[in-house]
Structure 1
Amino acid sequence: MFSINQANVNLTPNFDTESQEEQIRRMKLARKAGRFRILIIGRANAGKTTILKKICNTTDEPEIYNSKGEKIDRSSIEPTAERGIHDINNEMVFQNSPGFIFHDSRGFEAGGSDELQKVKRFISERSKERKLVNQVHVIWYCIPLDDSRPFQHAENQFFSEVGTGKVPIVVVFTKCEALEYEAVNVLEEQGHNFNDAAKGSVDYAKEHLQTAHLKLQSYKYQPKGYVYLQEMEKPNTNCKMLVKCTANVLTGSTLQAIFVSTQQASLEISIKYAIE
C-alpha cells in the first residue's frame, strides 16, 4: 500500500518548561478526570466500530449506557439496536478500556438536518460542563474513501456550520486502499497493462488525497489534524497514527496525559510519554 506523510503527529509534549507545582497540579487533574471522552462521527460504512475496537485492542462489542448511566440491554432493543447504539447521548464503553467513553453520531445523511442539530447541541452542552470528565475532549470525523464522493452534503454542512470551540477535530480518512483499486481500474481502461497500472496507482492515490486536503482547507471550520487508515479489517493493522495525531492536537498536557495513558493501540507512545 502507498505511504503518506501524516499531519500533526509531533510527539514531544512540552513538559520540561513546567514548574514542579504545575506538574503536580497536572497529574492530580489527570488522576481526578481519569476518563477520556470522544465523539466519533461518520456514515454507516465509514468503519467507526472497527476503529474503536482497534484503539481499545479488543474484538468485543461495547457496553452501552444511557444519559442516566444505566446500562442498556442490547437484546432488549432489538430490532431497534441500531437506533439505540447511535443515540448520541448514549455512552459506549469497552470492558478492557473503561477509561474511554465514546459517543457515536450515525452521520448526517441518515438523519438529515435533525442529526446535524443534535450534534451541534451535544457539542454545545458538553462544552458548558464544568467537570473535565464530562466534557468532550476530541472529535474524530471519519470519511471513507471507497465512495466516489467522499465529501457529501453532510461534510459540507459540518465543516461549514459547526463550530466546535476548543474541541479539536481529527479527520480520519478510512478505506484508503480503495484509491489504489480505483486507480488500477482507471489506468487499465486508459490502455495500460496491469503491471503498469499497479505501479501508477500510488501517484493516482496521492493526487486524490491531495485534492481531499485542499477541500478541507476551504472550509470555515478546519480540522486540527488528519490521518489515513487502510485495510483496518485485517488483524495486523492498527491505529497508531490516529493515536499520535490525537495526542498532538490536544490542548493542554493534562488531556494528553489522560489520553495517552488510556489508549491501548500503541505501547510505544505510552512509554515515550511516561519517560518524558
Structure 2
Amino acid sequence: MAPSSVRSWWRSLRRSQGPSDNAASNYRLDPNKAKRQIDRIPRFRILVMGRANAGKTTVLQRVCNTTDQPEIFDGNGKKVDTGAVQGSLGRGYHNIEDELVFKSNPRYVFHDSCGFEAGSEEEFDKMKKFVTDQAKSTKLEKRIHAIWYCIPLNESHRMVMAAERKFFNECDSGRVPVIVLLTKADTLNLDAVQELMKRGLTIDDAMKEAPEVEKQLQKGCLEKIRGWLNELKFPPQSYVMLTGE
C-alpha cells in the first residue's frame, strides 16, 4: 500500500484550493493509477525551499508523522554528523546534496536548498545546477519528484521577497513541479481578531467571529501571492494553504 501520508497530502492538496486554472483541485487522480506510480518509486525525493523560519521542518515532520529530527546522509549515503551539521546550519551553511530522512517514513528523501535566500549568487547557482542535474537523472529514485517552496503568511509585509522573485524568474525546473506551500496560515487568526475589534466587537465576540475573517484573509494572501508569482517567467504549478492541526 502507498504511505497514508501520501494520500493525506494529496487530499489536503485538493481541499486547499479554490477554483482556478492553477488550482490542484482541478486534478483528479485515480487511486489505482496513483498507487502504481508511487510503487514505481522506491523513494520519493523532494527539494524543500524557503527562507529561514518558514515552517519547513514542521511541514516535513507532519508529512512523515513525527516530531523527531531527520537523519542526514551525504550524496554517497554516508551518515553525516548531525551535531556538526546543526552548527553549520546556524551559520547559514547548507549542503543541498545532503539527504534528510525521517525514520518514521524513510520513503521520503528531502533536500534543503536554504542558503541562496540570503542573497548568495553562488548558492543560487548551486541550487540551479542541482535541480537541473537531478531532473535529468536516468534513475527514477535519484530524480527530484517535486519542489516545495515554503512562503510563510505570518510576515504579511514581506510575503514575496527578492529571493522568491529571483527563483521564479530564473530557475526553470523543467518537468519537476514546483508547489508553493503557504505556511503558518493559521497565524492570521490574530489579525482577524484585531480586525474585528477595530470594528467595535468585544474580544469574546471577535474570537467567535474570527474563523470566517481568517479565511477571508487567507484567501486574500493567496490571491496576492498568486498574482505576483504567476506574472514571473517560471511560475509555480500550484499553491497549497497549510494551517495547523
Whole-angstrom CA distance in 1 between matches of 2:243 and 2:39: 34
Give the Cα–Cα distance (whole angstroms) in 2 for the partners of residues 15 and 31 of structure 1: 11
- 1:161 paired with 2:170, answer yes
Rounded to whole Å, the distance in 2 between the matches of 1:227 and 1:67 is 30
Matched, 1:230 2:239: no
CA contact (8 A) 1:85 1:104 kept: no
SS in structure 1 of the partner of residue 158 of structure 2: coil
How many residue pairs end up in the alignment?
220
Residue in structure 2 matched with residue 8 of structure 1 by the alignment: 24
What does the per-residue CA deviation read over 1:107-163, in whole Å, with 9 as the maximum and x for residues that have no partner?
533253222212111101112211111111100000000112110000100111111
Paired AA for residue 145 in structure 1: L
Maintained 8 Å contact 1:144/1:174: yes
State TM-score, norm by structure 2. 0.78
| Cα pair distance change 1:182/1:37, threshold 3 Å | same
1:215 lines up with 2:224 in the alignment: no
Counterpart residue type for residue 75 of structure 2: S
**Are 1:113 and 2:130 counterparts?**
no
Q: Percent identity?
A: 38
Query: 2:92, 2:115 within 8 Å by CA — same for their partners in 1?
Result: no
- Structure 2 counterpart of 1:13, one-letter code: D
Cα deviation, residue 79, structure 1: 2.8
CA distance in structure 1 between the partners assigned to 2:151 and 2:73 by the alignment: 26
Q: Which runs of 5+ in 1 are unaligned?
A: 17-22, 232-236, 238-276
Assess, with a 3 A threshold, how the Cα gap between structure 1 residues 200 and 51 changes in structure 2: closer, same or farther.
closer
Change (3 A) 1:180 1:117: same
For 1:106 and 1:179, how far apart are their aligned partners in 2? 25
Equivalent of 2:152, from 144, 165, 179? 144
**Quick one: higher RCO (CA 8 Å, sep 6+), 1 or 2?**
1
Query: How many angstroms does 1:205 deviate by?
Result: 3.6
SS of the residue corresponding to residue 181 of structure 2 reads strand
Could you list the per-position Cα deviations for residues 13-32 of structure 1 after superposition, in whole angstroms to 9, with x for gaps in the alignment? Answer: 3968xxxxxx9xx95x8656
Deviation at 1:96, TM superposition (A): 2.1
Which residue does 1:42 correspond to in 2? 50
Alignment of 1:179-218 (within 5 A): 179-186=188-195, 188-189=197-198, 191-194=199-202, 195=205, 198=210, 200-218=213-231
Distance 1:35 1:202, change over 3 A: closer
8 Å contact 1:4–1:206 — kept in the other structure? no
Contact 2:94 2:115 (C-alpha < 8 Å) held by counterparts: no
TM-score, with length taken from structure 1: 0.70
